[in-house]
Amino acid sequence: MYAVPFDPQHLPRHVGIIMDGNGRWAKKNKLKIALGHRAGTEALRGIIRNSSDIGIQALSLYAFSTENWQRPKAEVDALMGLLLEFFQSEIDELNERNIRILILGEKDELPPEQRLALNRAEIRTFPNTGLRLNIAINYGGRAELTRAARRMAREAVDGLLLPEEINEAAVENHLYTAGMPDVDLLIRTSGEMRLSNFMLWQCAYAEFVFPQKLWPDFTLEDYHACIAQYQSRSRRWGGREAE
Ligand code: IPE
Ligand code: IPE
Ligand code: MG
C-alpha cells in the first residue's frame, strides 16, 4: 500500500515530467551545481521503477533542452557525464524490467560517446513491451514540430505524401512519440509554471501539476500525490461534463 492513495484503475496513460530545481537544490545545500544534478539522477531512479510497477504506459522525462546548451560549459559537461553514467549503470536493470527506451531529441548533436550509449540503449530495449520510457535530451518542442514539417515536406517532394493527406494524425506520426498516447499528466517540480518548450503538441490537453518541491527532493509520495491530483480533475476536452 502506498502512503498517498490513488486509484490504480484510472492512471494517466502518459506522464511527462519537467525535472526542475537541481540548481536551487545545490545552492540550498551549499553544494556544487554538478552535485545537484547528481542528486536529481537519484530521484529519477525511484520514479522510473515505480512508474513501471504501477503500470504507467509511457513516462517522458525532460533531461536536457535545446536551450540548455546556453549554460556554462562546466555544467553542460557535468550533465553529459551524468547522462552517460546513468545509461551505463541503469541499462541492465531497465532492460530486465521490460522497459523500452526512446530518446526524444537530436542525438546527432551530442558528443559521440553519449550518442553511442543512447543508440545502444534504444536498440537493446526495442523488443521490450513494458513501460515506454522517453528521455528528452537535446529536445525542444518547436524543434520536434519543425522536424515533423521537414520530414513531411520531404515525403511530399518524393511523392509519398499528398498535401491533402497532411492532417493531425499525419503530424503525430512524424513526431518522436508516434504511436503513443498524448500526455495526460504533466508534472513540473520547483514551483515554476511553464512548459519551457516541452512536448508542445503532446501536452495540448494535459492536466498540469506544479509541486513546490525541488526535483532532488521529489519522493514517491509526491509523485503519487500528483497522480491523485490528476484523478481529481474533471477533463472535458471542450465538451460538457457528463451529467
Ligand atoms: C533542471 O534543474 C535540470 C536541467 C535543466 C538539466 P535546473 O538546473 O534547471 O535547476 P534550477 O532551475 O537552476 O534550480
Ligand atoms: C527545463 O528547465 C529543462 C529541463 C528540466 C531539462 P530549465 O530550468 O532549463 O527551464 P527555464 O530556463 O527555467 O525555463
Ligand atoms: Mg531550471
Task: Look at residue 3 in the predicted model and tell me its pLDDT.
Answer: 77
Task: Look at residue 241 in the predicted model and tell me its pLDDT.
Answer: 79
Compute the distance between CA of residue 92 and CA of residue 235 in angstroms, rounded to an integer.
38
Contact 60, 16 (CB under 8 A): yes
Task: Look at residue 243 in the predicted model and tell me its pLDDT.
Answer: 64
Task: Look at residue 147 in the predicted model and tell me its pLDDT.
Answer: 98
The per-residue b/e assignment along 210-240, b for 16 or more CB within 10 angstroms, e otherwise, is bbeebbbbbebebbbbbbebbbeeeeeeeee
Alpha carbon of 18 to ligand 3 centroid (Å): 9
Compute the distance between CA of residue 131 and CA of residue 56 in angstroms, rounded to an integer.
7
The pLDDT tens digits along the chain (243 residues) read: 677 889 999 999 999 999 999 999 999 999 999 999 999 999 999 999 999 999 999 999 999 999 999 999 999 999 999 999 999 999 999 999 999 999 999 999 999 999 999 999 999 999 999 999 999 999 999 999 999 999 999 999 999 999 999 999 999 999 999 999 999 999 999 999 999 999 999 999 999 999 999 999 999 999 999 999 999 999 999 998 776
Task: Look at residue 4 in the predicted model and tell me its pLDDT.
Answer: 81
Mutate which of 24, 44, 110, 217 for ligand 1 pocket (most atoms within 8 A of beta carbon): 24
Domains located in the chain, CATH noted:
14-231 (3.40.1180.10)
Number of C-beta neighbours around residue 135 at 10 A: 24
Instruction: Give the number of the atom of ligand 1 that is nearest the alpha carbon of residue 24.
Output: 14
Alpha carbon of 227 to ligand 2 centroid (Å): 22
Written as nine digits, the cell of 41 is 539522477
Task: Look at residue 160 in the predicted model and tell me its pLDDT.
Answer: 98
> E strand or H helix at 102, and its extent?
strand 100-104
CA–chain centroid gap for 74, Å, is 24
The reply to whether ligand 2 has any atom less than 6 angstroms from the CB of 215 is no
Task: Look at residue 1 in the predicted model and tell me its pLDDT.
Answer: 60
Alpha carbon of 68 to ligand 1 centroid (Å): 9
Instruction: Give the number of the atom of ligand 2 that is nearest the alpha carbon of residue 136.
Output: 6
Q: Model pTM?
A: 0.97
The reply to whether ligand 2 has any atom less than 6 angstroms from the CB of 62 is yes
Calculate ∠ Cα 72-18-38, nearest 5°.
Answer: 55
Which ligand is in closest contact with the Cα of 37?
A: 1
Please say if 68 is a catalytic residue.
yes
Per DSSP, 200 falls in state T
